[in-house]
A and B are shown apart, each in its own frame.
Chain A
Amino acid sequence: MEKIIELRGITKEFDGERVLNSVDLYIRDNEFVTLLGPSGCGKTTTLRIIGGFVTPDEGEIYFDGKKINDVPPYRRQVNTVFQKYALFPHLNVYENIAFALRLQKRPEAEISERVKKMLELVALKGFERRNATLLSGGQQQRVAIARALINNPRVLLLDEPLGALDLKLRKDMQNELKKIQKQTGIAFIYVTHDQEEALSMSDTVVVMANGVIQQIGTPTDIYNEPKNAFVADFIGESNILDGIMREDCKVYFARHLFTCVDSGFMKNEPVDVVVRPEDVDVVPTERGMLRGTVTSVTFKGVHYEIIVDIDGFKWMIQTTDFEPVGKEIGLYIEPDAIHIMKKSEFSGQFGDYSTFSDEMDELSNPVPEEE
């Protein structure tokens, strides 16, 4: 597929603070790309640069191979769904959606035809005359999407569009957005800090931190083969341990030599080892590769989340069997459950689960960034 948007070496500073550092990225036609990262990672700035609301300090941005650094937003074939919808309070639903077409002075019949089609697409038939800003959050969201799509943009930018909706509605809208993207065949660039959202909707996920792209890949790649400790920690739960690559497919960590499936490291190279909580099997102590004591159990519905202390390192394990606090259990890890990463600037920042609590988890799930 063809590259429709390309960023090359994009750098941006606000008040002397570097929010984007040499970002290279391309988006292809028809693609659903998600920019994922914690607040302040530069994802919204990247989106605003593509939309034309922010001019990069360095680097080029191309649209269909043409440089568009100096093209203002109103001349770009890109439309945006804003974080807080940004519906015009002085116009009703119909006029909000018709806004772009009215500017182009399209004939009334065409406008009415296209608005009707859009209202059908976002399932808001019969809402034409309603006051846009008095609708529910989910309905306003749909109006915003219809308004942005009516102009047949080549690319739709979505800035945390579901951030203000409750969980149930968010799930519905995720499916609907995905459906709309398939139906229209427009490239979507979607900004979110919600990793679940990113994994379930995207063709490609771009993980960002500190103004730098950490990894670009399919959701499965990003989850199964995180490039560094930041990605591993940000996407899903993970136990990240210091390890040493003894030789190809042999890694030493937690005072045990494990067989793994990774190779291509130097002999005795220090590495970060990722083990996902759901990939660890709980077994009787005598059969365990590792042995530890359960220090906390939380019921999560589908599974229990238990914290196991092994030589002072707190592992998180997800298991369907209840294990009481204080019990000694054994852990068994299959070779393909172990993922080896090169050491990076993030090594050591994300350790074990000794300070873990649901409250902390809430805290580290950032609120949408304001810029």
Chain B
Amino acid sequence: MRAGSLRRSVAAAPHLVWSVLFIIAPFLFILYYSFTDKDGSFSFSNIADLFTWDYLSIFLRSISFAVIATFICLLIAYPLAYALSRMKAHTQGVLIMLIMLPMWMNLLIRTYCWMNLLETNGLINTLLGTDITFLGTGGAVVLGMVYNFLPYMVLPICTVISKIDKSLLDAADDLGCSPVRTVVKVVLPLSLSGVISGITMVFVPSISTFYISQKMGGGSFDLIGDTIERQFMANTNYNMGAALSLILMIIVLISMAVMNRFGNEEGEIIA
């Protein structure tokens, strides 16, 4: 008994050290900085400052951009994932590889490529013979988010749909479902867990990104991520940056809790 528990604690030790050093300690630092002022004395002023319109507008913009990007990702990813799941294993493997391929390249490089494409004298405008301003618009920021995070939506949904027993689809067909209704009545409810993890995996990086908004938005769309970065790097205001991070974390936790709640309710038997 004791030897067993000793072995177990030895096995857990590296993880414990890691967690304390790189998860708990940084989190305590964030808490510390959030609730202290520049002199290190306890203060609510950082948090209170966040509830001014300057910051609230940034939060609202971040949330709405993330929601829009997540929604567009879902609209694109669901039919794509459904189509993938219906393909032969080999074709499916190749296509999933192609979807993942851009993820193996650096996010910065991918975003720079998009800037090149979208510039006023970039490839798209040249091909179209136009000089439309893409960069610096909200649309470009959302496009950047959708492009970069789409695979995170496709993969979990595709995995879940592929696992649905094919005889359930036959059964729906047999009982009177046209192909479209089979998707609505059976595939959709049974793939909800994939949709929920997809939404979480796209929403979280979207709401906290700073690079995409800076490059694609041309600096005119400050998001939470940008503001945090500026507080730490440019203003060296660690207290404000930490307070922003804390609130961002709370927003993410709340949205995840809501999503999970939603998922549980829908996943349960309709009684």
Residues of chain A at the chain B interface (Cβ within 8 Å): 51-53, 72-74, 78-80, 82-84, 86-92, 95, 99-100, 103-104, 129, 131, 147-148, 151
Contact = CB atoms under 8 A, between A and B. Distances in A.
Contacts of A151: 175-176
Interface of B: 165, 167-168, 170-178, 181, 185-186, 189-190, 267, 269-271
Contacts of B178: 72, 74
Nearest to B170: A53
B175 to A, nearest CB: 4
Given A82-B167, A84-B167, A86-B168, A51 B174 contact: yes
B181 to A, nearest CB: 7
A69 B167 CA distance: 21
Contacts of B170: 51, 53, 73, 80, 82, 86
B269 A79 contact: no
Contacts of B190: 88-90
A54 to B, nearest CB: 10
Contacts of A89: 168, 190
Contact of A74 (B165, B167, B176, B271): B176
Given A74-B175, A147-B171, 9 more contacts: A74-B176, A79-B174, A86-B167, A90-B269, A90-B270, A99-B185, A103-B175, A148-B174, A148-B175
Nearest to B168: A86
B89 to A, nearest CB: 15
A51 B168 CA distance: 14
Contact of B171 (A72, A88, A90, A131): A88
Given A86-B167, A90-B189, A91-B269, A99 B174 contact: no
Contacts of A88: 168, 171-172, 186, 190
A148 B190 CA distance: 21
Contacts of A90: 186, 189-190, 267, 269-270
Given A73-B170, A89-B190, A90-B189, A147 B270 contact: no
Given A90-B189, A90-B190, A103-B181, A80 B269 contact: no
Give the dominant DSSP class at B's interface: helix
A90 B184 CA distance: 13
Give me the 7 closest cross-chain CB pairs, A-B, nearest first.
A86-B167, A86-B171, A100-B175, A73-B173, A90-B189, A92-B269, A103-B176
A104 B167 CA distance: 21
A147 to B, nearest CB: 7
A81 to B, nearest CB: 9
A151 B186 CA distance: 18
Contacts of B271: 92, 129
A35 B168 CA distance: 23
14 contacts: A51-B174, A73-B170, A73-B174, A74-B175, A79-B175, A83-B167, A86-B167, A88-B186, A90-B186, A92-B270, A103-B176, A103-B181, A103-B185, A147-B171
Contacts of A104: 176
A131 B170 CA distance: 20
Contacts of A79: 174-175
Nearest to A92: B269
Contacts of B176: 74, 100, 103-104, 151
Nearest to B186: A88
Given A86-B165, A86-B168, A89-B190, A53 B175 contact: no
B264 to A, nearest CB: 13
Q: Quick one: which of A51, A82, A129, A151 has the most chain B CB within 10 A?
A: A82
Contacts of A100: 175-176
B78 to A, nearest CB: 17
Nearest to B165: A86
Contacts of B270: 90-92, 95
